[in-house]
Structure 1
C-alpha cells in the first residue's frame, strides 16, 4: 500500500488574468479552487496512473472539507485525514498573469493529541508499504517531525520517500529513506553554495548517499533530471520538449511517476522514465498529469 502525508495542505485559489497591477482593481479571465499540497498531489497523480494510495494529514474547517470532497468525489482518492477542531485549512492564492505571484495562507495549529493520532495511523503500516513525506510543515510543529516519523517506523521495512527542503530532508538520511527528491536549488541550499553543473550535482548528491539516502532523484526543471541509485548507477535524462504552462505540482508528479514505475517494473531506469514523463506532463498542463498525457511523453523519454 502507498501512503502520503501532507502536514500543510491547502485549497488553492487559481486566478488567471492578462496582467496584474497592484494598487488597483484587477479582473480575472479564469478562476478555480483546487485541493493542493505536495502529498495530496502525489496521491492524485498516482490515482491517474491507476495506483491506489491513502492520503494522510490534517484538515480543518470548511476549506478542509472541500479538500476531502474533491479528493473523494473528483479525483477518486482514498483519504484518512485527522480533523482538527479549530481553524481552517489554509487558502493559497496563485495569481497567474505576466508573472506568477503566490500568496500562501497560514495553516491551523496541530495539537499534540492530533499529532499522536497521526502516529497511531502510521503504526498500522506494514513491511513493504510506501510512505511519501512531502512538503513544508506548519511552524507549530517541531522541525524534526519527519525524523520522528522515521524513527517511529524504524522497526519496519517501509519504503520512505522524502520530498522536503533543508533540515527536514537532511535529518532523515540516517534512517536510509528509499528515495529523496531535492531539486537543484534545494540541493544547493543544503550545501550552502550554488551547484550548476551536472558534475557538481552528482558529486554532492553522492555525499547525501554516504549519509544514508538509498536513491536520489534530482529535478532540474527545463534541464531534465538526474538519478543516483543504491546500486551505484548514475542516470541523466533531458527534459522532453513542450511548453511550460504550470510548474506547480511538477515535482510531486515526478515522485508519483517514479513510485508507480518502480512498483510496476522493479526497475530504476523505467521508474526514472516514468518520473520524468509524469513531471513534464504536469508542467505542460493546466492541471496535474493524466495517464494519456504521461503516456504521450513516455515514448520520447530516453535515459
Structure 2
C-alpha cells in the first residue's frame, strides 16, 4: 500500500486581488478554497493517476472536516488522527505578485503523534511506499521525521521525503528512496548560491552520498533534474503556459513521478510524467487533473546528461 503523511495540513484560501495595496481595503475578484498540504496534494495526484493510497496525518476543527471530505470525494482513503484546535488556513494572494501567508497550525502532542506511529507499525509491510511531505506541525520537530524514517528503513518500506532542511538532513542516514528539494532548498542545504546546471547535479550527488537513493531537484521555469540511484542524470524542460498557481506544483511532480515509477521502474518516463504534472498544476487553480497532465506529456522533453 501507499501512504501519504501530512503533519500540518491546510486549507488554502486563494484570493485574486489585482493591484493589492498594503494598508488599504482590497476587494477580491474571486476566491477558491483548496485542501492543501504536501501529503494531501500528493494523495490527490496519485489517485487521479489511478494509484490507490491512504492519506494520514493530523486534522482538527471545521477545516479538518473540509479536507477529509475533499479527499473522500476524490476517492482517497483517509485515516487521520484528530487533534485539538483547528487545521490552519493559509492565504494565497494572487495579484501582480504572488503573496503567501501561512498559518502555524494546530499543535500535535506526543500522545497524538504516537497514535500515528502505532498505526504505521500495525500496517506497514515490506515494499510499501510512504510519502512524508511538508513541514512539522507545532509540537513536532525533526525527531518526529526521524522516527518514521527509522521505521520505514527497518520495515523495508520506500520513504519518499520532501521537507525542510533540518528534518531532511536528519533522515538521510535512513536511506530515503527519494528526496525532492527545489533549487532554493538545495542552496539552503549547502549554504551556497547555485548558478549552473553542473552545480545542481554536483550537490544532488552530495545528498546521495549522505544517504538518499534518488534526488529530484525542481527548478521552476528551468525544469527539473534527477540523479538516480543507478548514477544516471536526467533533465526535463518546462512547457509553455500561463502560471496561475505554483502551490502544489512540486508535490504534483513528485507524486506523478512515483505513480509512473511504481508501474515501470523507468526513470526517464517517470520524470517525463512528473514534469508534466508539475507544470499542469502550475497552470491550474488547485491540483491538476489527469487530462491536463496527459495533454502536457507530449510537450515534455527528457535528456540524459553525461557527467
Structure 2 partner of 1:104: 102
1:226 is displaced (CA, Å) by: 0.4
Distance 1:18 1:112 in 2: 43
Secondary structure in 1 aligned to 2:206?
helix
Secondary structure in 1 aligned to 2:275?
helix
Structure 2 partner of 1:246: 245
Write the mapping of 1:220-259 to structure 2, written as runs, cut at 5 A: 220-259=219-258
Distance 2:275 2:152 in 1: 29
1:287 is displaced (CA, Å) by: 2.0
1:104 is displaced (CA, Å) by: 1.5
Structure 2 partner of 1:37: 37
Structure 2 partner of 1:65: 65
1:143 is displaced (CA, Å) by: 2.3
1:93 is displaced (CA, Å) by: 1.1
Output one character per residue of 1:24-76: Cα deviation in whole Å (capped at 9) or x when no partner: 22111101211100000000111111111111100011111111111112x22
Secondary structure in 2 aligned to 1:155?
helix
1:295 equivalent to 2:294? Answer yes
1:153 is displaced (CA, Å) by: 2.9
Are the counterparts in 2 of residues 127 and 158 from structure 1 also a CA contact under 8 Å? yes
Distance 2:49 2:133 in 1: 19
Task: Give the root-mean-square deviation of aligned CA atoms.
Answer: 1.1
Distance 1:166 1:192 in 2: 11
Structure 2 partner of 1:7: 7
Distance 2:42 2:152 in 1: 21
Runs of 5+ unmatched residues, structure 2: 303-307
Write the mapping of 1:174-193 to structure 2, written as runs, cut at 5 A: 174-193=173-192
Is the deviation greater in 13-22 or in 253-262?
13-22
Runs of 5+ unmatched residues, structure 1: none
**Normalising by the residue count of structure 1, what TM-score does the alignment of the two structures yield?**
0.97
Distance 2:251 2:30 in 1: 24
1:169 equivalent to 2:156? Answer no
Output one character per residue of 1:272-298: Cα deviation in whole Å (capped at 9) or x when no partner: 111111101111112211111111111
Output one character per residue of 1:235-293: Cα deviation in whole Å (capped at 9) or x when no partner: 11111222211100000000111110101212111111111111011111122111111
Write the mapping of 1:191-206 to structure 2, written as runs, cut at 5 A: 191-206=190-205
1:141 is displaced (CA, Å) by: 1.0
**Normalising by the residue count of structure 2, what TM-score does the alignment of the two structures yield?**
0.95
Are the counterparts in 1 of residues 34 and 286 from structure 2 also a CA contact under 8 Å? no
Structure 2 partner of 1:20: 20
Structure 1 partner of 2:210: 211
